[in-house]
Amino acid sequence: MRRTALLILAMAVMVSVASVATAATGEALFKKGNTLLEEGDLEGAYKAYVEAVQNDEENEAYRQQATMLRQVIRMRKQLARETDNELYSHFALALRSFYHEHEVFGEALALDKAAFKRLSTPESAANLAETHLLMNENKAAIALIDGLSDSHRSMRSQVYLATALARTDQMERAKSVAAALDFSEEEDAGLLFDGACMFARLGNTEKACAALTKCFKQTPPSLLDGGKKYAMQCADFASIKDDARFKGALGTKSTIKESKCSGGSGCGNCPSRSSCSKKK
């Protein structure tokens, strides 16, 4: 009786140790995948994620990351041979979004350069400038935008130009570029965030916080916490981080209604109940 109990106890301990060890291996493999991804080794990262899934099959985060990266790899291959500009643009934006989210800026820069070369649109120019700024390559951003014709410039690229100028202590020129930009009607959350960065760099705390507040109001609830966390770490806001207005902006709530399915049989409280079925 006592021996049986001890045996069961020993087996239980072994099973728990084994499952903890498996989870730990899965986590280590997942971290390895993240490191490889940051280094730009997408195939290596994918292999590590798949191994992480094999170690911990129930982990949804590992699965999702592996599936997403597999698609990114496929998309990257497809991009090289894509002849349709519209599809090329779609794939390029998708890849860029993934690279930015995972801070694979080297890949993003190469992609943006290729996209700008091929598409040569104001959007692709602004994308390239943005990646330069994210990599703190301010001079490259200034050179790029200065080299654009008027038809290739956009409000976004001008915001990046003013930010890059301010970052490189060319304040007078930065202020004159910023003075020509009107944010009063702007609704795009991304551009509002960039505008807030620009104003913060120019020392205009009032306008920076107003733009940031408007940006957060226009940000979907599911992205709001991430956006605020990013703002707190963003070097452009370093000079206003302790300002009460900046802290106030961080307390802004989203005004965007977002679908969050209750998972139940009804959808009485679903914020998109009157429109989700009509969206394509």
Partner 1 sequence: MSAKTLRRLVQFFFVTLTIVGVFVVRGNAERWCPFGGVEAIYTYASEGNMLCSLGVSNFYVLAAVLLITILLRRAFCGYMCPIGAISEWLQSGARRLGIKEYKVGHRLDRALASLKYVLLVVILVLTWIEAELIFRTFDPCYALLSRHGEDITFWAYVVAGSIVFASLLIIMPFCRYFCPLAAVLNPFSRFGLTKVRKDDDVCTGCGECEQSCPMAIPVGQMSTVNSARCMSCFNCVEVCKTDATTALTWGPGSNAKRTWPQYALVVLLFICLSGAVTAAYVVPLPSFVKEHGEPPTETAVAELAVHNLTCRGKASLFDYFVTRDDLYALDGYVRMEAWPGPGAVKVRIIYDPNKTDVDAIKEAITEPYYDRDGDRWRNSPFEIEGYDPLALD
Count of beta carbons in the 10 Å neighbourhood of residue 22: 14
Q: Is 91 in the site for partner 1 (CB under 8 A)?
A: yes
Residues between 159 and 218 with contacts to partner 1, criterion CB under 8 A: 190
Supply φ then ψ for residue 170, to 5 degrees: -100, 65
Which amino acid is it at 202?
L
Q: Is 90 in the site for partner 1 (CB under 8 A)?
A: yes
DSSP 119-187: H--HHHHHHHHHHHHHTT-HHHHHHHHHTS-GGG--HHHHHHHHHHHHHTT-HHHHHHHHHT---TT--
Q: Is 81 in the site for partner 1 (CB under 8 A)?
A: no
Nearest to partner 1 of 149, 265 (CB atom): 265
Q: Is 83 in the site for partner 1 (CB under 8 A)?
A: no
**Which residue, among 231, 171, 229, has the nearest Cα to 201 in the 3D structure?**
171
CA 190 to chain centre: 11
Q: Is 269 in the site for partner 1 (CB under 8 A)?
A: yes
Nearest to partner 1 of 207, 273 (CB atom): 273
Q: How far is the CB of 24 from partner 1 (least distance, A)?
A: 21
Q: Is 225 in the site for partner 1 (CB under 8 A)?
A: no
Sole binder of partner 1 in the list 70, 152, 175, 207 (CB under 8 A)? 70
Q: Which residues bind partner 1 (CB under 8 A)?
A: 50, 53, 63-64, 66-68, 70-71, 74-75, 78, 90-91, 93-94, 97-98, 101, 190, 220, 223, 259, 261-270, 272-274, 276-280
